[in-house]
Amino acid sequence: MRGLLVLLAGLIAMPAFAQQPSQACRVACRVGQANPSPEQRQCLAQCAAGQPITREAPGQARASGTQAVSPGQAAPPPPRTTAGTPPAPPAGRGAAASQPPNRPPPASYGAVYLAIPPNMGYGMSIGQRDRLTAHRMAESACRASGANCVMAEDLREPCAAVAEGVRRAPGAFFMTSDPKTYVVRAITYRSAGNRADAEREALEVCRQRERGALTCRIVQAQCAR
């Protein structure tokens, strides 16, 4: 009778024992001391049944393209490469890295400064590598006339021209190259892609001053290249 009772007790305890997951399954499914989550319970059931773990347990997300590994199964070795040969770069990356970066051509800067009316001084600088240098040179050339000057334009085109409009000075019978025979009444400028266009446009603007009564002439024209 005593032996029958022991046998029955053992049969009752066997299902409970069988339900206890092994330590390997608990480690594979990341199950700690707390109650397992639904995902962890599914993982433990698959592990206890000897099935491969097809669903990652929390904290065990694998990279795309890798193969699931069953508990106790060794992970597959990494792909072998030839000794001394570095792994191939991603598609399109090696070609881009081998080509030198495109460098923009050096910039060219210019500036025009004009004297404050009634003074008629001017200063122009073009073809400079540095913008600050271009402005300093133009301002210095303008101030050489003894007048206060202000920036008229930050030049973007490769060529520029300055024209002045003059009238006969009072008391002079006619105008000559002598500054005493004429009075400067206007300073105009224009920039363009070539010298001829810059000169033509500067003269056109000058001739529109004082209803066309001025005699206009180019006093400076320059190109950066």
Quote the distance between the C-alpha of residue 206 and its chain's center: 43
Q: How far apart are CA 8 and CA 198, in angstroms?
A: 113
Residue 108 token pair: 């060219």
Distance in angstroms (rounded) separating the CA atoms of residues 143 and 154: 17
Q: Is 9 helix (H, G, I), strand (E, B) or coil?
A: helix
Domain residue ranges in the chain:
109-223
Which residue in 32, 31, 35 sits closest to 53, CA to CA? 31
Residue count of the chain, please give it. Answer: 225
Phi, psi dihedrals of residue 36, rounded to the nearest 5°? -70, 150
pLDDT in tens, 100-129: 556 554 468 999 999 998 899 999 999 999
pLDDT given for residue 69 in this prediction: 45
pLDDT bucket at 18, cuts 50 / 70 / 90: very low
Mean pLDDT across 56-67: 43
